[in-house]
Every structure is written in C-alpha cells, then in structure tokens.
Structure 1
C-alpha cells in the first residue's frame, strides 16, 4: 500500500484497513470556506501524519496501529477510530502534511485523552450563584425559539462560531436574556456549562490589568451585559 500510495496510485479507491494501519475519521469538520473546525485543527496539531479530505466533507488521518489502541472501531465525540473495513482514499491531501502515516504512539496518546470519561457538569459556586436554579434556567431556555442554539453552546459546541471566544460571548448573551443584567448569576450559570469545562483555566486568566483587574470571564460577562437588550428575568432567575 505504501509504495502504491507514494506513487499516486491510490486515489479514489477503497483501502482495506488491517493490522498495520488505522484511520481517524472526522466527518463534517471543514467549513464551506475550507476552514477546519477547532477539534480537527487540534487533532492535526497533535498527530503529524498523512491527512486528506474525505468524500463526506471531513478528514481521514492514516496512522500506524499501536497495541494501546482499541482492537475494534470506536467513536469518541466527533472522531471515529476505524480499525476494520474499507476507507476511500481521495488523494486530496492537506497542504503541508507528510506522506507517511502518523506514528501509532502519537495516535494512541491522543485517543486516550479523547476517549476519557467526560466529567459531570460543574455545579455553580454558591458564593456567586445566590439562589440560581440551573434546572429552572434550562427549563426556561428550552421554551425559547432559539433553544437549539442555546443548548449547543451549553453542551460546549463551538463549531458554528468563528472562535471559542465568540462562542463564550454568545452563551453569555443568551444567559443575559434569561437572567437579566446580573453578572454573578451569569458567571455562575456559565460555569455550569460545557463551554466552561472546555476551557476552565481560560475563564479565570487575567484579561484586563485594570484598574480594576478583570478575568477573561468577568470581561466577557461585562461585555455581554453592556450590549443591553431585552430580558426574561426577574430577580433570582427565570420564572
């Protein structure tokens, strides 16, 4: 397979995976403008090996097998590890990628992180949440016309936003509508979301030296409130 691939003879055919090679399959991870979604860019940054555009508008990353990888095909989030079956080889390689399959140990390390159990949602800190009831908040969000957008952000999905920071801001705007201009309540609600779990350290980093000094989270909440707009809120949260 390697000789045929390097000679350009593998385009558009089905390659049978076996004991030597595996494939990481990422469907729908490329925007119409050709921009990789965040999770695809992060995976490629960690795995240096042959990657090409797949027929499904995603990516295929070929890698050497490794004993630490599962013996059968598995899925972790938006990435599927293929161990058996046919993979279509398009030959549409990503620019700058090497022609050799990725090292098995690199893929095994990345897969171990992706397949790790997801921690349960964080509870809002009582010191700032006051009487905020997250279940009540989510029930109110479910009744909104744009509930699907809210819950995509709540789960931590950022694919439909130009950057993770803009996704953070968008969720804070949703929370402002639900909770009103209450910075502590918005902050507490955000910390219960999947977006917070994605980048918890970033939420607390210093983003404005002041005076007063502000964390990235505090600054994002302030900006969301400063935009104004209508709200559903009563004191203490959605009714």
Structure 2
C-alpha cells in the first residue's frame, strides 16, 4: 500500500468540478476469483461503499484524508444520473515505462479533448467529460464508458497536453462511441439476401461470440428481442417484467434471470449487470454487500449464474430468410434457407438445454430452502422446553 496521500492522488490536479461534489469514495484492492479487484469503501470508517448509495459517499477532502491514513489504496469518483459527467476507461493501452499510448487510445484521448489522467496501474487512461452516452453499450474490448452507477479510481496524474478541466464534449463522445462501442453492421449483400422479405434477418447485425466473458455484438434491444422470441422466451419475458411467479423467493427468480442473461450475453459480467438493472427484478439488495470478500449480492448472483451455465449463445451467420419465414409449401428451398433452418434448430436445442438447466437449478434451490426450513424447525424445537 502506498505511503501517504500524496502518492495516492494529486489532489490539486483533480478538476474543481469533480472536487466540489460529494460523490467520493475510497477503494482497496481485494482478491476475487484469483484476480485483484478494486472494492469501494466509505471514507472515514472503511465499511463497504456502493456506487448506487449516496449515503456511502463523502466529500473529496474526506476521501483524500482517509486515503492518507493508508487504510485505503486510493480515492474514487462516483458517476450518477444527477450529474452530466461521463467516464471513459481505456485499459492496457499505455506503456508504463515510456508513457506512450497505443494508436486507438491516442485517437480517443485526442478526439475527446477533456481531462485525462493515468490510471493507478499506469497502463491505462481515464477521460472525464460532460455529455450523455448515445447508446446502450458501455463496453467493448478495452474501451468502457459509464455515466451512472459506477465509480472511477482517480489519481490526478494528468496526461500532459490534455485539458486541466472537464469539458462539454457531446459531439466528440458520439464520434468515439460510434467508432469504438456501437455494434458493427454487416453490409455485405448476397444474392440470397436480395430475395429476403421485410422483417427477415438478412444482412443484419454481425454477431461475434467468444467464450464466457466475450462480446455478443448485438445491441441490447436486439439481444432482448431474440431472448423473448426464443423457445423459452415466455419465461424470460416474465422474469424480465419482474414476475416471481413459480419461485419460492425473489432470489431464486434473480438467479433464473441471470442464468438466461449469462447465456445470451456470452457470460459478459458487465453486460449482465447492466441488463439486470433494466429488468423489473432490480431492487436495492442488488448493490448491498453480502459477503466477507466485499462482493455485493448482485456480483455474487452473476458469478454463480455464469459458473452454472454450460452453454452460451453462439449463433451461426444468418444469410437469407429466417427459418420462421420459409414457406413450408414451397417446392424449392434455397441453400440459405436450409442453413437458417439448421441454425434455428441448433439455437432451439441450446435454449431447451438451458431451460432444463435452469429448472434443475430451481429444484436444487427449492430443496436447499426446504432443508433450511427443516433446520429452523429443529432449532425451534430444541429451544422450546418439553412440557
């Protein structure tokens, strides 16, 4: 841990527009799943803080003072819906020895032209500006953008040549978002796609799927539409609306929805969190710290959902009509239609397996709940004197 607040943050270099707001926390490094994670803590008492609970935030001065006691590893600024600040996080893009950025990072920093600092690791940058994110995506590759419910570790180690203040840069933000975060569109036109009827998924969004933790390159609305139209879409839609019907507790419903989101997002933790916050199941408990390692209820639910999901969304490339639009009475079906049919059948089978896995998990949760109730009854009998 650093020896003194002056090594944790250059207080004078932090823009006044940020310093004047009581949206500051401290942070400590905690190991989770074998990786170091920066956990927010309350300046002053060291209890766990939350990026969605204003009661755990303090003034900049209080945060710096507490970090200076070496009870924390640094200070952080919380982004909220009440302010116009946007944070752009660029990871693994700076040579810590030479200070030189890679090509993409340099392009982003120059384009945004607002307060930019070196991250605590020395291998990345934080750009703070004023504006509004133009879309639902917040992460792609090593580029992340947030405007609410997140905190940035702050160093005040300003990058030479960048503004010392936070600038209003909406146009530049939209330009960078479009170039680095917006979903890619496959504009290739084939002879099959020219025969597609309105509503066909021909020449549509290009989808990249990797193993757990990778990007499913669909917009949130496209992803939700596919989830709702899948073979288990009715269950997804009920959970998405916030219905807990059929579940012993909301926690079980939370887990069921997270398992579905794990499948559709390719196990992308950050995107699962963002989507869950849009669902009808979101509640204050999601951001409450429930575990000794500092994990929140939401973080642990996502972690368990991913670990219990063995299949992830892996669509084939659709070129031509979707299987649902094929005329079953037609004497001739094109190769592209056959391919779409096979793809749709493949996806339906994956959804069926996922649904079975969720049902299995729900049964296990129910059995666990019953065991707990039985134990509680036994404890109560033990406490009650025999008459």
TM-score surpassing 0.5? no
TM-score by length of 1: 0.43
Q: TM-score, normalised by structure 2?
A: 0.28
Higher RCO, 1 vs 2 (CA within 8 Å, ≥6 residues apart) = 1
